[in-house]
Structure 1
Amino acid sequence: MAEFFNLPMLGQTMEEGTITKWLKAEGDYIRRGDIIAEVMTDKANLEVDATFEGYLRKILVAEGETVPVNAPIAIVSKTLDEDISSLLSDAAKAEPVPAAAQAETREPVRTVPVTQPTATATTEERLFISPRARRLAQEKGVPLQALAGRGTGPQGRILERDVESVWQELMSAKPRVTPLAEKVAAEAGVDVTAVAGTGVGGRVTKEDVLRVTAPPVTPAAPPAGAQVVKLAGLRKLVAENVVKGFFSAPPVTLVAEVDMTECVRLREQLLPEVEKAYGTRLTYTDIIVRATARALRDFPMMNATLRDDQILLHPDVNVGVAVAVEDGLLVPVVKNADRKTLGEISRELRELAERARAGKSTPDDLSGGTFTITNLGAYDVDLFNPVLVPGQTGILGVGRIAEKPVIREGQVVARHLMNLCLTFDHRVLDGAPAARFLQRVKQLLESPMLLLI
């Protein structure tokens, strides 16, 4: 019989995907396990495997279109003569199942309550809203409280059309104007009812009025011979995630100088042993991952996620490591890094990085991270402000290791020094506990024999 083929969940945090390429055409016979399409998620380009045996009758989602998880993307059937007219008529009104309903059962996380205004928190907890509708509400400045009870989807789910409806109501109502904006508008002879407000709930601010009265700015044309590179694909995803990470949390960065001299010696001693036992070359990043994972075990608030009015303390320490790839970067994840030896971390991280650079990362490779490390030491960088990965509390930036003269016991000696730059979410942690976490990482790296215990 004919049936829909829905977009599968290709990662634990995947909410939607963009069809970048169909690898099968309408009318093709498909076997179970065949790759039928390529999909771009918020993490990487992934392949969609067929879970059916039969013919691809109709492609419902064109290349370049974005749909939620479990939305119909094609119609398939056992034979070419089966009637699919009823499915075609149903396709337009099919509602996707929320991605959260498909998530695999995971070990429960501990939670820490966060004090927030009770009315707002209660309202948002009751909202059953799709990810796309929530994003649209943020873009249009529609308060989530205004959407309560307005959902027209299954079981009262709030959809994009509901957000549009509420937004239209807010726009048609008498605009709320700040006193200063009203004064500036009166002086400039501007009809304030015609000014689009960008404040909370569409409120007209002074800046909105000044924007209307300012002379139009014509974008400068690219200079002759300039090359224009379209922001697309992985580069676009990286850009969106960086903006989301920067503006979704109040970031604070702490910097500590670490004496890596003993770490350099230990690595030189372990190089042949690790290569012989694990077939990989031990790197400083491997050692830093081990030290960070140990510290995260001692500081669970740094291994956490802020979600609504709760802080989720993750039971596992999964350390992501940024890997530069063509047109962007990926963050493969070393799962349970606190339970692995230096050799195991080194081997796993090498395999993850190789797959990432070859464009063969799996959804599991890129999901589940609870903390991230980004190392720019290879590029002679000393200090930088790493940007938080959305959903994580901390990210550790690593600078280069440089031999410098320092004073030890009144004597000038050469030591290998390195900077660690910790960016953290100030909503979850204050400066003192974050500094103690960084201090613990520093202690482990300066006394690396502790990592072998």
Structure 2
Amino acid sequence: MPALEMAQETGKLVGWLKKEGDSVAKGDLLLEIETDKAVMEVEATADGILAGVTGEIGTDIPVGQTIAWILKPGEALPASAAAEVPVTSPVTEMSLPLVDVSQQPTTSAGKVSPKARRLAKEAGIDLSSVIGSGQDGEILASDIQALIDALPNAPITPAAVQHEPLTSIGRLMAERTTQSWTTVPHFFLQQEVDATALNDARAARGAAIEQALGVKLTHTDIMIALVARTLARHPRLNASWIEDGIRLNPEVNVAIAMAVEDGVVAPVVRNAHNAPLGEIARQRRELTDRARAGRLRPADLTGGTFTISNLGMFHIDSFCAIITPPQAAILAVGQIAERVVPINGVITVRPMLSLTISCDHRVIDGAKAATFLHDLAEAIHEPGRWLT
């Protein structure tokens, strides 16, 4: 069982992506493991044949415990491992299923995404009767959701809503936000910005980026680029609080808070201060797709130096976000909405955007935060000077 994050003691085995006896190459996706952060895909570390599988799906396994072997062709399992594997045939002929059949029903496709399996279990749907719409007949979460939506509405009784246990992601989010709120001295600054030029930039550059890269440019993409370039000029906002002082991070890696089924994750757009706008849009799209599918990788969630949380798509005007330690700040972005404002003494209507920055007072003082927010507002007023 590999360690996919710091301080990890166990990992829950969600599923095997190869079966016993299969040939695997280094880098092939081998299994799925659920940690406190997300369900992550793990790659094979060597070439060979998968054998001696003992890891049972759905169980929490200590880090470092052997759950399978990758053998060279013709190589036998070690004696200690072979004694634990309930087969007598040679390794090259192993074809036993890798799942606990008492927990994993046979389906028409043989594959089931982790999210689909969870939804089916909660709804009491028999997976053996489901026809999947995914590649090679894989049963997807959308297949199960469609069946759930078609079920007649049952009356909700008090007993049915008494308790909702936390998932691993939900539990971790609760622990970390509590720790941050109770140990980090937060302060907040807010500013409203005219988003006319931001809208114009998206309209002017969106078609070319979509044609070249096949991704739609969003306001979040532009905000990531502008925030990152402004952070490069304000290193204290891109810093981290550590035990012996303040770490000034050499790179600007912007984490994007995303809502998923079980909570919130924050995958990271790397080197955002140097990345072209199209590259930022491509990274953001890939991270979003993996987050929604529950397939974020360990590298997707590490190394963030600053976080953006955008609730504009939920029609929220403004809000205050909780800092993600050891980062020193997080920017909360509201919706772009038309408001009546005075422009050079004339009352007019403009698309306005509310920005709220939460800062760790141990790292950043009010003046530094205010200067950063002012410079970011100027960049939003003239995005063409900053975007490539």
Contact 1:60 1:72 (C-alpha < 8 Å) held by counterparts: no
Q: Name the aligned partner's letter for residue 336 of structure 1.
A: N
Say if 2:97 is the partner of 1:83. Answer: no
Q: What's the counterpart of residue 43 of structure 1?
A: 37
> Match of 1:255, SS?
strand
In the alignment, which residue of structure 2 is the partner of 1:380?
Answer: 315
Equivalent of residue 411 in structure 1, options 333, 338, 346: 346
Measured in 2, the distance between the counterparts of 1:58 and 1:267 equals: 51
Pairwise CA distance, 1:414: 0.9
- Distance in 1 (CA, whole Å) between partners of 2:7 and 2:298 is 9
Partner of residue 446, structure 1? 381
Contact 2:24 2:50 in 1 (8 A): no
How many residue pairs match? The answer is 310
Q: How many Å apart are 1:368 and its aligned residue?
A: 1.6
State the TM-score, normalizing by the size of structure 2. Answer: 0.71
1:391-438, Cα deviation, whole Å (9 max, x unpaired): 211111100111111112221111111111111111111111112111
The alignment's C-alpha RMSD in Å is 3.1
User: 1:131-168: per-residue Cα shift (whole Å, max 9, x none)?
Assistant: xxxxxxxxxxxxxxxxxxxxxxxxxxxxxxxxxxxxxx
The 5 Å alignment of 1:86-97 reads: none
Name the structure where helix makes up a greater proportion of residues: 1
Q: Is the 8 A contact 2:40 2:294 kept in 1?
A: no
CA contact (8 A) 2:38 2:295 kept: no
User: CA–CA distance in 1 between the matches of 2:52 and 2:211?
Assistant: 54
- Partners of 1:447 and 1:50 in 2: CA distance: 47
Alignment equivalent of 1:19, drawn from 8, 12, 21:
12
Deviation digits for residues 257-302 of structure 1, max 9, x if unmatched?
1111222223222232332333322211111111100111011111
Structure 2 match to 1:155: none
Equivalent of residue 181 in structure 2, options 218, 243, 246: 246
CA shift in 2, pair 1:267/1:49, >3 Å: closer
**Structure 1 pair 67–423 and aligned structure 2 pair: CA distance change class (3 A):** farther
Supply the distance in 2 between the matched residues of 1:285 and 1:368 (Cα, whole angstroms). Answer: 20
Aligned to 2:273, the other structure's residue is in SS state: helix
SS of equivalent residue, structure 1 residue 436: helix
Q: Which runs of 5+ in 1 are unaligned?
A: 1-6, 89-221
1:72 aligns to what?
65
Q: Distance in 2 between matches of 1:394 and 1:66?
A: 35
After TM superposition, the structure 1 = structure 2 runs for residues 161-240 of structure 1, keeping only pairs within 5 Å, are 223-240=158-175
Partner of 2:193: 258
Cα displacement (A) at 1:253? 1.9
The amino acid of 1:48's aligned partner reads: V
Residue pair 1:380, 1:400 contacting (<8 A) in 2 also: yes
CA 1:419–1:55 in structure 2 vs 1: closer, same or farther (change >3 Å)?
A: closer
Report which structure shows greater RCO (CA 8 Å, sep ≥6).
Answer: 2
> In structure 2, what is the equivalent of residue 356 of structure 1?
291
Cα distance in 2 for residues equivalent to 1:309 and 1:333: 25
1:243 to partner: Cα distance: 2.4
8 Å CA contact 2:330–2:357 kept in 1: the answer is yes
Correspondent of 1:8 among 2, 16, 22: 2
Amino acid at match of 1:381: I
Deviations 1:338-364 (A, max 9, x none): 112222212221222122212232222
Counterpart among 335, 342, 352 of residue 400 in structure 1: 335
C-alpha separation in 2, matches of 1:81 and 1:452: 57
SS of equivalent to 1:245: helix
Change (3 A) 1:17 1:81: closer
Which residue number corresponds to residue 263 of structure 2? 328
User: Which AA in structure 1 matches 2:41?
Assistant: E
In structure 2, distance between residues paired with 1:435 and 1:64: 49
8 Å Cα contact 2:41/2:296 also seen in 1: no
Local SS of the residue matching 2:228? helix
Which residue type is aligned with residue 16 of structure 2?
L
Residue 374 of structure 1: how far off its partner (Å)? 0.9
The SS at the match of 2:208 is: helix
Q: 1:351 to 1:49 in 2, by over 3 A?
A: closer
**Residue pairs, 1:257-336, within 5 angstroms:** 257-336=192-271
Describe the shift of the 1:325–1:447 C-alpha distance in structure 2 as closer, same or farther (beyond 3 A): same
CA distance in 2, matches of 1:278, 1:288: 19
SS in 1 for 2:347: strand
Length-normalised TM-score, structure 1: 0.61
- Amino acid aligned to 1:269: A
Separation of aligned partners in 2, 1:9 and 1:82: 23
Give the Å deviation of 1:239: 2.4
CA contact (8 A) 2:32 2:42 kept: yes
Name the CA shift for 1:284/1:83 in 2 (closer, same or farther; >3 Å): same
